[in-house]
Amino acid sequence: MSKTSRVVVSMPKTAKKGEIIPIRVIVQHDMESGFRHTERGVLVPRDIIRDFVCTYDGVDVFRAELHPAVGANPTFSFFTVATQSAMLEFKWSGDNGYASSLTSQLVVT
Amino acid sequence: MSTSRRTFIVTLGAVSIVPWLNAQATPEEATDAIKKILGGAKPRNGRVNLEISPLVENGNLVPMTVAVESPMTQADHVTAIHIVAEGNPLPNIVSFYLGARAGRAEVSSRIRLMNSQRIWALAQMSDGSFWQGYAETMVTLAACTEEVLI
Amino acid sequence: MIVRNVLGRSSTQARASWFSLFGMTWSVAWLLLPLVFLTSFTWAQTSLPPRQSGYELMSPATRAMQDDEALNPATFWILDGQTLWNESAGKKNVACAQCHGDAATTMKGVSASFPKMVNGKLLNLQGQINMCRQTKQESSAFQLESKPLLSLETYIGHVSKGMPITVERTAENAEPLEAGRLLFEQRLGQLNLSCAQCHAERAGLKLGGNVIPEAHPTGYPIYRLEWQTVGSLQRRLRNCMTGVRAEPYALGSDELVQLELFLMWRARGMPIETPGVRP
């Protein structure tokens, strides 16, 4: 697995103050579980994303701790309250120095 | 049978079976993982709804949604949701950390399930209490894969 | 003697009244016959037996995974393919985009027409991409089943989503098409089963809890949940052969391309679903 990869974030661009908005994220990652073997019987080492965090204006609003049983190309759908206009940042980190991130601006009226 | 022969036979049985015991997690391992999460607290049944299709076509990518009934206010909200499997090689699947800013304690993801089994969802509340729910599912195998099935 | 019908009219009178209903004369009626023939002929050519995609047999959750681009893991391969399309490569230092422009327009219907005969050789889309790599970009061919090749194939295939498969029998492809058909009907492996025995004769029946699909290649390259990645039709066909305990044909072999041709011809008229999701 390379040190970084593509991520796609789906969330509204605008919201009303106090509105609960849905956010969906998906990241390209094989999530090698560490339980698979090659054709010759050699164990393929574990190589997974370990953490995902969504920050809203720098404050953690959602975090996930991943284990090998999270499926390949992990996706999370969650909610957050639109408190004020801000930048949301999405960060993934994992084995072998893996790191990906994306930001998205939310305008709250 | 003499005591020494009996001892030998029992030891022979144990020696041949023990290596196989670690091949797959058991409900007991899941219980241990859950105990660790609870840290001594007693979980109550209810408020947690774990949705996994009762019949799964392929255990490699199983859609899952967990929702917890909670007002999600500063005074009363869900702080964490832990998903634990009874029949996977490792019991812990994923843990979600929420808070009052989530607005709604509902998370969806896609997980790996090795076998037909029961999966637990434990929700930790802001007052330190735990609530739990579970889902049972049947996992089927895909047809014609790369491995030759015996 | 005049023969009278039930209404008491003579045959000539009856005919006359029937025709006058439609304002017709015999000469007009004869002239319309070729038109009737042409309509019926066209209809007979284009009306194919109803076919069912494997999509219909999947659970609602898996179908949702295919339909929603935000949930379909193969979307990443589309994005990677788009990057490669615009990237210069080889000694000629040209990108696909330089000759072919915007794939969203120029590649419409292309994947739906492969495999086809190109300069006397039967090529599938992967083969065509590699031919362009080697001749137009003067670069090395992509390894079969490699990520870049699959990404380009998925990107180009996705452009034809919804369009009907247009592989037809022609004078040029008749021979490999027939070879493909024979392969489809050939018993293989320790289980001594042919593709046709399961997928033509027993489609819709069950094999070990799974409903047997008709096996149409409408969604390739697919994200197969079993592989946990995107793969080609050839990879899937090799899995089928392992399933009947036969030694699979090698990737890129003549047999596999001929089978691809036959399967696409068999699925002609069905809409492309690329990128599909399958268990």
- Which of the pair, B1 or C100, is modelled with greater confidence? C100
Residue C157: closest CA among C225, C230, C88: C230
Residue A33: closest CA among A76, A66, A2: A66
CB neighbour list of residue C61: distance below 8 Å, 6 or more residues apart: B53, B63
Residue B121 lies inside a defined structural domain of this protein: yes
Same domain, C62 and C170: yes
Size of interface A-B (CB pairs under 8 A): 89
Instruction: Give pLDDT, residue A63.
Output: 98
Question: How far B103 CA sits from the closest chain A CA (Å)?
Answer: 5
For chain A, domain boundaries: 7-100
Q: Specify the DSSP element, H or E, that contains C237.
A: helix C233-243
Q: Which of C207, C228, C238 sits opposite B60 (nearest CB)?
A: C228
Low-confidence ranges of chain A (pLDDT < 70): none
Domain count, chain B: 1
Query: What predicted TM-score, i.e. pTM, was given to this entire model?
Result: 0.85
Question: How far B65 CA sits from the closest chain A CA (Å)?
Answer: 9
Which amino acid appears at position A6 of this protein? R
Q: What is the mean pLDDT of chain B?
A: 88
What CATH code would you report for A7-100?
Answer: 2.60.40.10
> Under DSSP, is residue A86 helix (H, G, I), strand (E, B) or coil?
strand
Same domain, C66 and C192: yes
* Residue C76: pLDDT band with limits 50, 70, 90: very high
- Which of the pair, B17 or C175, is modelled with greater confidence? C175
Q: Which of C61, C207, C226 sits opposite B145 (nearest CB)?
A: C226
Final residue before a domain boundary, out of C105, C125, C159: C159
Are residues A67 and B62, on separate chains, in Cβ contact within 8 Å? Answer: no
For residue A24, which residues of chain C lie inside 8 Å, CB to CB?
70
CATH of the domain at B63: 2.60.40.2470
Residue C36 lies inside a defined structural domain of this protein: no
Same domain, C97 and C202: no
Instruction: Give pLDDT, residue B22.
Output: 43
Check if C73 contacts A (Cβ < 8 Å). yes
Q: Specify the DSSP element, H or E, that contains C130.
A: helix C125-135
Quote ipTM for the complex.
0.96
Residue B10 lies inside a defined structural domain of this protein: no
Mean pLDDT of C140-146: 97
CATH of the domain at C101: 1.10.760.10
pLDDT above 70 coverage of chain C, percent: 89
How far is the C-alpha of C154 from the C-alpha of C232, rounded, in Å? Answer: 9
How far is the C-alpha of C42 from the C-alpha of C53, rounded, in Å? Answer: 25
Residue C176 lies inside a defined structural domain of this protein: yes
> Under DSSP, is residue C28 helix (H, G, I), strand (E, B) or coil?
helix
Are residues B57 and C208, on separate chains, in Cβ contact within 8 Å? Answer: no
Q: Is C228:C164 a contact under the CB 8 Å cutoff?
A: no
Q: Are strands B106-111 and B117-125 parallel, antiparallel or unpaired?
A: unpaired
Enumerate long-range contacts of B34-40, CB under 8 Å, 24 or more apart.
Answer: B34/B82, B34/B84, B34/B91, B34/B120, B34/B122, B37/B82, B37/B84, B37/B122, B37/B124, B37/B130, B38/B122, B38/B130
Q: A interface mutation test: which of B101, B124, B148 has the most A CBs within 10 A?
A: B101
- Containing structural domain, residue C137: 75-159
Phi then psi dihedrals of residue C163, to 5 deg: -85, 150
Q: Is A28:A73 a contact under the CB 8 Å cutoff?
A: yes
CA angle, C139 then C231 then C111, to 5°: 70
Q: Is A13:A107 a contact under the CB 8 Å cutoff?
A: yes
- Containing structural domain, residue B105: 24-139
Q: Which of B61, B141, B144 sits opposite C242 (nearest CB)?
A: B144
Interface residues on B facing A, Cβ-Cβ cutoff 8 A:
60-62, 65, 85, 88-90, 92-99, 101-104, 106-113
Same domain, C103 and C239: no
Q: Is the pLDDT of residue B144 over 90?
A: no
Domain count, chain C: 2
For residue B93, which residues of chain A lie inside 8 Å, CB to CB?
67, 69-70
Same domain, C102 and C231: no
- Which of the pair, B27 or C236, is modelled with greater confidence? C236
Same domain, C181 and C269: yes
> Under DSSP, is residue C100 helix (H, G, I), strand (E, B) or coil?
helix
Same domain, C151 and C179: no
CB neighbour list of residue B114: distance below 8 Å, 6 or more residues apart: B24, B59, B87, B88, B89, B139
How far is the C-alpha of B142 from the C-alpha of C225, rounded, in Å? Answer: 9
Question: How far B12 CA sits from the closest chain A CA (Å)?
Answer: 28
Same domain, C60 and C182: yes
Q: Is A49:A94 a contact under the CB 8 Å cutoff?
A: yes
- Which of the pair, B8 or C259, is modelled with greater confidence? C259
Q: B interface mutation test: which of A28, A49, A76, A78 has the most B CBs within 10 A?
A: A78
Same domain, C176 and C62: yes
Q: What is the mean pLDDT of chain C?
A: 91
